[in-house]
């Protein structure tokens, strides 16, 4: 297997119509502007060319290369800088994701986001765990993904995988079991108003004591809500809780 296996036969984009091509007028300038104001890395994937159309300048996720070098390498970048087991996992996720996608009504396809974690080398040749969130930008007239945007950030998890698909404004999300290659639905995590308050004050740099004064409860009550928050999100500290909440749009 090689990087070409990351492109599913279910989403072969060949000829583009005039309507398809009109979608792409000047949109890269918007992506560049967004890249300048976020700490996350941004990729634009062109599934017709099987290449990266845009890679933002975030050195944390570029394995010591420039964004131009990564763009020129395309998907072979992953083959070189992702460990073999995780690279094989990416191929599995790709195939399972497109299989799921083909079952979505065409008019809803832009509402879905796939998220997954994998290891990649940093500039010091050490592996870091990153998260990819990917959603379609442009579809062909027959509903195939022509271009997609991928947002890359440090993962809040501790191991690779954690594959989910969610639909905008829906209460459900779908998880991929990498052992059985099957998707299963579950309800999204919802935070209470108190948990959101505690996370927001932590985000602002307030201590437990300062938070208790702001929300008029005891320090022990704040600690209680923190413990419940950790259990709900499957994390072990407030940094992880905040990262999870921001990454999953819970705040």
3-state secondary structure of 232: helix
CATH of the domain spanning 3-187, picked from 3.30.565.40, 3.30.70.270, 3.30.450.20, 3.30.1960.10: 3.30.450.20
Where in the chain are all domains bearing CATH 3.30.450.20?
Answer: 3-187
Rg value, the chain, Cα: 20
Q: pLDDT of 75-129, one tens digit each?
A: 999 999 999 999 999 999 999 999 999 999 999 999 999 999 999 999 999 999 9
Of 136, 179, 133, 140, the C-alpha closest to 156 is: 133
- pLDDT (tens digit, 0 to 9) for every residue of the chain, 251 residues total? 788 788 887 788 888 888 888 887 788 999 999 999 988 899 999 999 999 999 999 888 999 999 999 999 999 999 999 999 999 999 999 999 999 999 999 999 999 999 999 999 999 999 999 999 999 999 999 899 999 999 999 988 889 999 999 998 888 899 999 999 999 999 888 888 999 999 999 999 999 999 999 889 999 999 999 999 988 888 889 988 888 888 777 77
Overall fold of domain 193-247: Arc Repressor Mutant, subunit A (1.10.10)
Write out the two tokens for 198. Answer: 């505690």
Q: At what angle do helices 238-247 and 219-233 cross, to 10 degrees?
A: 50
Where in the chain are all domains bearing CATH 1.10.10.10?
Answer: 193-247
CB 191 within 8 A of CB 245: yes
């Amino acid at each position: 297997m090689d990087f070409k296996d990351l492109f599913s036969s279910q989403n072969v984009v060949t000829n583009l119509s005039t309507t398809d091509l009109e979608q792409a007028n000047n949109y890269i300038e918007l992506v560049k502007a967004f890249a300048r104001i976020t700490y996350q890395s941004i990729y634009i994937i062109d599934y017709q060319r099987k290449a990266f159309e845009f890679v933002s300048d975030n050195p944390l996720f570029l394995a010591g290369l420039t964004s131009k070098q990564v763009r020129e390498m395309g998907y072979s970048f992953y083959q070189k800088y992702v460990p073999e087991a995780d690279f094989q996992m990416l191929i599995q996720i790709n195939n399972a994701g497109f299989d799921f996608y083909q079952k979505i009504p065409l008019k809803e396809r832009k509402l879905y986001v796939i998220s997954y974690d994998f290891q990649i080398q940093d500039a010091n040749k050490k592996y870091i765990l990153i998260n990819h969130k990917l959603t379609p930008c442009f579809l062909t007239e027959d509903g195939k993904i022509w271009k997609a945007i991928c947002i890359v950030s440090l993962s809040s998890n501790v191991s690779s995988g954690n594959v989910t698909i969610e639909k905008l404004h829906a209460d459900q999300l779908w998880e991929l079991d990498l052992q059985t290659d099957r998707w299963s639905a579950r309800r999204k995590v919802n935070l209470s108003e108190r948990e959101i308050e505690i996370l927001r004050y932590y985000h602002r740099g307030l201590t437990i004591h300062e938070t208790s004064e702001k929300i008029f409860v005891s320090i022990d009550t704040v600690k209680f809500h923190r413990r419940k928050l950790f259990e709900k999100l499957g994390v072990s500290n407030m940094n992880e809780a905040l990262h999870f909440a921001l990454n999953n749009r819970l705040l």
